[in-house]
Amino acid sequence: MISLLSSVISHIPGWDVFFQAGIALLIPLAVSRIYKALYSLVGSGRAVESPGSSAKKRKGQSDAPVSPPPQARQGFSGNYAADLQSIKSAIGRNSDLHFKEFTITRLQKQAVLIYVDGMQNDRILNLQIMQFLMLEATADSFSPSGSAGQQLPFSQLSEASDLADFNKSVLYGYAGLLIEGLPQGLLIQPPEGDSRSLDEPVSEALLRGPRLGFSESLNENTSILRRQGRSDQLEMVTHRAGNRIQKDLVIAYMKDIVNPELLREVESRISKLDIDFLAESGYIEQLIEDNYLSPFQQVQNTERPDRVISALLEGRIAILLDGTPFALIVPVTFSMLLQSPEDYYERWLPGSLLRMLRFAASFLALMAPALYISFISFHPGLIPTELALSIIETRQGVPFPSIIEVLILEVSIEILREAGIRLPKPVGQAMGIVGGLIIGDAAVNAGIVSPFLVIVVAVTAISSFSIPMYSAGITLRILRFVGMGFAALLGMFGTILFFLMICSHLTKLKSFGVPYLTPVSPFRARDWKDLFFRAPLALMKRRPAMMKTQDSKRKS
Amino acid sequence: MCRRLMPLILCLFLLTVTQSGCWSSKEIEDLALYTGLALDTGKLTKAEQELEEQGVTYSKRDKVTATVQIVPVKTPGMEKKGGPQPLHYLNISGTGDSVFEIFRQYSIRNERPIVGHHLKIIVVSTELLKRQSMEQLMDFVLRDNDIRPSTMVFISQSRAEETLVSKRTDEIPSFHLRDMIQGQKRTSKVMKPVILSELDALMHAKRSYALQNLVTADGETEFTGAAVVKGDTGHWIGTLSQEDTECLSWLTNKSKAGAIKAYDQDNEPMTYEMKDMKSKIKARIDGDDISFDVSIKTEGRLIETWNSSSDADSTEYTEKVEHIFGAKLEKMTEKMMEKLQKEYKADVAGFGDALSIQYPRVWKKVQDHWDDTFSRSKINIKYDLKINDFGSFTE
């Protein structure tokens, strides 16, 4: 009995083992604690997490603009002079605002046309509208009051019963019409501001595929989407967001495909947007994403209408914001970030090859410098002997440890890249040559870095350019530096640890309820045919299972 | 509580990260790789002699001289172009009675620690192997976990350190030796190299084995024959000639290449180029008697003959030539078997393997004194040599 006890005791490890076990338990707990604390500290841009804040409730969902209620709604009195006076007192100081008062000759009534410089086609405004109003308009056109729109020959005509709303619309560019005896303002011509011509998207150029990108005008963008093809199921719903300056945004989806729960989730997140002004769709992306601490984007952005429409057909939802060519697509998974529309336009073999190439490239872009550091500083035995010899020979003049060496070159490459974006195109190309050739070669000759590293960094930089989504490339660029830190501390062990941490983070991450790593985890065998390789189109009979679409069949 | 704890935890975390540094980090250029190791009988180097005269030594018996080949040699700063090419390697030796201690002793002379990940070849001199057993010499090498099990082991007839020196300045002798084994595609005189892990198994099973023999002459090293190491003692007992080695490779099915030269009726040389070779050993048990039937089948072409008067493509001529080559092959093989059975009494040709597979129970009984049993077994060899090609020639 005693011998048994003593043999048991002899197998109990020393205190240091318990200490290590304790640390191994405490560190993950602490990390998750810190994470939660950080998350609750900042919260989210959405109003959900901060019930205490006096967030304004959602803005109107329909087309009718609803003004925030700092002052009580002020309707039109019906008194022409008083109404004009109150409009003038509210927005009359704007020097680009024109009031054109005239008399409707057939009715002998006073009217005023209010518009902003540059927002209307002056020819049409002066010649046609004025001519009609002054000379041709009869009493029938305006009576019975209330249904004025039906008699007036304007295609886009709405009525504003609210003064503040009328003012906003006029300043936004509508031509406003105020007529004596009519207790409402008419908004006749929508703004026709100058917009640039449609161009090929700069950030997502393709060799094969439509050379058409979104522009800054929301109307144009929705019309581009409509023009992709005939369908009565493509539904676009306008929402309005922004507390101080309001902007239109459109949620687009296929009515018979989209998962209604997903749609409800997107609509609720959009309706909870609480911010002064949405300058770009990136604002929306950051305010509706699931996890702001994650380095990975949970919303896809694109300039390509073809990309948007095929996403809609997969059961995803697009969000278009006025004033930016970048549309958002939700939800997104990791594999989607490495897909390019070209994969589908080309035949399936080249498409699959390119896609696998992209996976390999993103691995290189993430890990290559970390692997270099761990090989050079920790595991010389893992390098083939002849290569090890040449590395030793070239590195003998280098005074820095490999982490410093890599940092020097990586940081200068990143600076070059950043500078190349800012510079005008011809200068930017020259910068690339200067960076690639001269800095690389000179750094080697000066003995700051080894020639082998120049190859590693160059391959890394090129690899990160091959990722079709620019923002996904940035994510990998950030993480690359983290990986280098791990490698410098713990060698190969650290590099693998880093990779596992990324994997575990990605497994937990979700984008609008869809796990980020689907179909790898959770495993969905059906979706694997469009993951690492792209199956022939004839085989893709069903929509991705991860989207839980209403109608999963692609073929009739 | 949480608010105050959190910065503290963060600070502690930062402290551990910043203060601990890079664990076990060692830049590759601060290491010296050794690619070759030569083991000789203890003989003090010149430097060591002078040091001992000054009384600089430690307690040891001078049994082994270990020489390691270190690459690459450190070049100060920028290399200047032109001028005489400096040597790319450095051989340093130490004497003592523990290989590991000698290795550590290098560190009081050298600026960079040596690491064994890239060790390619180990050369042991026959002289040393007469005094020490292979197990003793290989013990450290097998225990050390830097050294790869794929390291090749050779035997040197002269001093082993001489094989790590080359006349040519542009190459590293240990790489040269490693690459020389590619010659086995052309000739069976180059044996299939024995790597450390195989050697470990052979030593553990107390089996006799043959290792490639190296001979150095005038700064050039050549693969010549094989050295036979007796299993039960682990000592070197003799060498096989080049032709014996060839026969051994064929008999053990390790090579299909090679040439057989014979003399025809006019005493002119002619050569047979082997294209295929298959040998099969079949054990036969007859009471306590163990005998072996060996069949050697080979096909090839007549690649060279100095006799121009021959009627080359007639059937009779082919048969005649086949007979001559067959007789030559038989003579060579018998000479080799004679040497193995009578002179060395060591089974290095895999007869024991055949027996252990075909008759495991009999093998269990005889395995402890196998070399002895082998030397008394009868071995019948059948030869089947076929010439099916005369190369391209014009009448």
Q: Of B323, B191, B180, B326, give the one whose Cα is nearest residue B246.
A: B191
pLDDT above 50 (res A69)? no
Residue A268: both structure tokens together: 């609720």
pLDDT above 70 (res B313)? no
pLDDT for A140:
62
List C-alpha distances in Å: A163 to A70, A114, A471, B40, B173: 14, 13, 43, 106, 95
Instruction: Confirm if B206 and B134 have CB atoms less than 8 A apart.
Output: no
Q: Of A364, A342, A363, give the one whose Cα is nearest residue A353.
A: A342
pLDDT above 80 (res A83)? yes
List C-alpha distances in Å: B58 to B48, B66, B96, B97, B101: 11, 16, 9, 11, 11
Say how far apart CA A46 and CA B97 lie, in whole Å. Answer: 76
Q: Burial of B184 by CB count in 10 Å (0-12 exposed, 13-18 middle, 19+ buried)?
A: buried
Say how far apart CA A503 and CA A497 lie, in whole Å. Answer: 10
CATH for the stretch B242-395 = 3.30.300.210
- The secondary structure of chain A in percent helix, strand, coil, rounded to multiples of 5, reads 50, 10, 40
Say how far apart CA A529 and CA A534 lie, in whole Å. Answer: 6
pLDDT for B367:
86
Burial code (b: 16+ CB inside 10 Å, e: under 16) for B66-79 equals: bbbbbbbeeeeeee
Residue A197 banded pLDDT, cuts 50, 70, 90? confident
Q: Which of A393, A407, A445, A453 to mutate to test the interface with B (most CBs of B within 10 A)?
A: A393
Residue A225 banded pLDDT, cuts 50, 70, 90? very high
Contacts of A383 in chain B (CB under 8 A): 28
Cβ neighbours around B276 below 10 Å, total: 11
Angle at A11 between CA A10 and CA A14, to 5 degrees: 85
Q: Which of A23, A383, A385, A450 to mutate to test the interface with B (most CBs of B within 10 A)?
A: A385
Q: What contacts B217, CB < 8 A, 6 or more positions away?
A: none
Contacts of B118 in chain A (CB under 8 A): 380-381, 385, 388
Residue in chain A closest to B7 (alpha carbons) equals A34
Cβ neighbours around B222 below 10 Å, total: 14
A–B interface: beta-carbon pairs under 8 A: 79
Residue in chain A closest to B71 (alpha carbons) equals A389
Strands A247-254 and A185-187: unpaired
pLDDT above 70 (res A421)? yes
Among the partner-chain residues A34, A386, A402, the one whose CB lies closest to the CB of B27 is: A402
Residue in chain A closest to B119 (alpha carbons) equals A385
pLDDT for A116:
85
Burial code (b: 16+ CB inside 10 Å, e: under 16) for B188-218 equals: bbbbebbebebbeebbeebbbbbbbbbbbee
Contact yes or no for B117 and A33 at CB 8 A: no
Contact yes or no for A34 and B72 at CB 8 A: no
Among the partner-chain residues A37, A381, A389, the one whose CB lies closest to the CB of B2 is: A37
Q: Of B293, B283, B261, B286, give the one whose Cα is nearest residue B356.
A: B283
Please give the average per-residue pLDDT across A147-153, as a whole number.
57
Residue B86 banded pLDDT, cuts 50, 70, 90? low
Residue A55 banded pLDDT, cuts 50, 70, 90? very low
Roughly how many angstroms between the first and final C-alpha of chain A, as a whole number? 77
Say how far apart CA A528 and CA A534 lie, in whole Å. Answer: 9
Instruction: Confirm if A59 and A241 have CB atoms less than 8 A apart.
Output: yes
Instruction: Confirm if A252 and A235 have CB atoms less than 8 A apart.
Output: yes
Least confident of A231-245, A415-429, A534-548, B127-141: A415-429
Smallest CA–CA distance, residue B107 to chain A, in Å, is 19
pLDDT for A80:
84
Question: Alpha helix (H) ranges present in A115-235?
Answer: 122-123, 130-131, 139-142, 148-151, 163-172, 218-226
Q: Of B280, B297, B286, B300, give the one whose Cα is nearest residue B353.
A: B280
Q: What contacts B10, CB < 8 A, 6 or more positions away?
A: A34
Q: Of A212, A3, A184, A35, give the one whose Cα is nearest residue A111.
A: A184
Taking the alpha carbons of B127, B130, B134, B138 in that order, is the dihedral positive or negative?
Answer: negative
pLDDT for A204:
86
Asked if the C-beta of B71 comes within 8 angstroms of chain A's C-beta atoms, the answer is: yes
* Residue, of A49 and A254, whose pLDDT is higher: A254
Residue type at position A202: V
Say how far apart CA B226 and CA B109 lie, in whole Å. Answer: 36
What are the residues of chain A with a beta carbon less than 8 Å away from any beta carbon of chain B? 30, 33-34, 37, 375-378, 380-381, 383, 385-386, 388-389, 391-393, 395-398, 401-403, 447, 488-491
Please state, for a pLDDT cut of 90, what percent of chain B lies above it.
48
pLDDT for A112:
87
pLDDT for B85:
59
Strands A317-321 and A247-254: antiparallel
Q: What contacts A225, CB < 8 A, 6 or more positions away?
A: A234, A236, A252, A305, A308, A309, A318, A320
Which helix H or strand E contains B179, and what residues bound it? Answer: helix B173-180
Cβ neighbours around A316 below 10 Å, total: 29
Instruction: Confirm if A242 and A276 have CB atoms less than 8 A apart.
Output: yes
Q: Could you read off the pLDDT of A483-512 as tens digits, one per residue? A: 999 999 889 999 999 999 999 999 999 999
Contact yes or no for B24 and A378 at CB 8 A: yes
pLDDT above 50 (res B98)? yes
Among the partner-chain residues B6, B28, B77, the one whose CB lies closest to the CB of A376 is: B28
**Highest-scoring range by mean pLDDT, A340-349, B306-315, B367-376:** A340-349
pLDDT for A48:
46
pLDDT for A418:
85
Smallest CA–CA distance, residue B357 to chain A, in Å, is 38
Among the partner-chain residues A378, A389, A398, the one whose CB lies closest to the CB of B72 is: A389
pLDDT above 50 (res B67)? yes
List C-alpha distances in Å: B334 to B13, B341, B359: 75, 10, 25
Residue corresponding to tokens 């191994």: A24
Contact yes or no for A392 and B33 at CB 8 A: yes
Residue spans of the domains in chain B: they are: 27-75+85-240, 242-395
Please state, for a pLDDT cut of 90, what percent of chain A lies above it.
40
Among the partner-chain residues B20, B78, B118, the one whose CB lies closest to the CB of A397 is: B78
Q: Give the mean pLDDT of chain A.
A: 85
pLDDT above 50 (res A248)? yes
Q: What contacts A347, CB < 8 A, 6 or more positions away?
A: none
Q: Of B311, B321, B296, give the one whose Cα is nearest residue B388.
A: B321
Asked if the C-beta of B17 comes within 8 angstroms of chain A's C-beta atoms, the answer is: yes
Give φ, ψ of B220 to 5 degrees: -115, 140
pLDDT above 50 (res A57)? no
Residue A354 banded pLDDT, cuts 50, 70, 90? very high
Contact yes or no for A397 and B35 at CB 8 A: no
pLDDT above 90 (res A184)? no
3-state secondary structure of B351: helix
pLDDT for A41:
78
pLDDT for B200:
94
Smallest CA–CA distance, residue B137 to chain A, in Å, is 23
pLDDT above 90 (res A301)? yes
Say how far apart CA B68 and CA B174 lie, in whole Å. Answer: 10
Q: Give the mean pLDDT of chain B.
A: 87
pLDDT above 60 (res B77)? no
Task: Report which DSSP code applies to A526.
Answer: G
Q: Could you read off the pLDDT of B258-310 as tens digits, one per residue? A: 889 999 888 889 999 999 999 999 999 988 889 999 999 999 988 888 877 66
Contact yes or no for B25 and A392 at CB 8 A: no
Contact yes or no for A30 and B9 at CB 8 A: yes
Burial code (b: 16+ CB inside 10 Å, e: under 16) for A52-84 equals: eeeeeebbeeeeebebeeeeeeebbeeebeebb
Least confident of A74-78, A218-222, B64-68: A74-78
pLDDT for A337:
92
pLDDT for A278:
92
Contact yes or no for A395 and B6 at CB 8 A: no
Instruction: Confirm if A302 and A321 have CB atoms less than 8 A apart.
Output: no
pLDDT above 60 (res A68)? no
Contact yes or no for A490 and B23 at CB 8 A: yes
Instruction: Confirm if A320 and A253 have CB atoms less than 8 A apart.
Output: no
Among the partner-chain residues B10, B27, B35, the one whose CB lies closest to the CB of A385 is: B35
Residue in chain B closest to A446 (alpha carbons) equals B78
Contacts of A487 in chain B (CB under 8 A): none
3-state secondary structure of A498: helix
Q: Could you read off the pLDDT of B354-384 as tens digits, one per residue? A: 999 999 999 998 888 888 889 989 999 999 9
Asked if the C-beta of B150 comes within 8 angstroms of chain A's C-beta atoms, the answer is: no
pLDDT for A155:
67
Burial code (b: 16+ CB inside 10 Å, e: under 16) for A440-478 equals: beebbeebbbbebbbebbeebbebbebbbbebbbebbbe
pLDDT for B309:
66
Residue A1: both structure tokens together: 């009995």
pLDDT for B20:
60
- Residue A116 pairs in a beta bridge with A97
Q: What contacts A211, CB < 8 A, 6 or more positions away?
A: A200
Residue corresponding to tokens 């007529």: A179
Say how far apart CA B57 and CA A475 lie, in whole Å. Answer: 60
Residue corresponding to tokens 């050379």: A211
Smallest CA–CA distance, residue A370 to chain B, in Å, is 14
Cβ neighbours around B374 below 10 Å, total: 23
pLDDT for A73:
63
Q: Can you tell me the ipTM of this complex?
A: 0.83
Task: Report which DSSP code applies to B348.
Answer: -
Instruction: Confirm if A388 and A439 have CB atoms less than 8 A apart.
Output: no
What's the 3-state SS for A104-129?
Answer: ECCCCEEEEEEEECCCCCHHHHHHHH
Give φ, ψ of B104 to 5 degrees: -70, -30
pLDDT for A63:
41
Asked if the C-beta of B87 comes within 8 angstroms of chain A's C-beta atoms, the answer is: no
pLDDT for A52:
38
pLDDT above 60 (res A64)? no
Residue A103: both structure tokens together: 């008399």
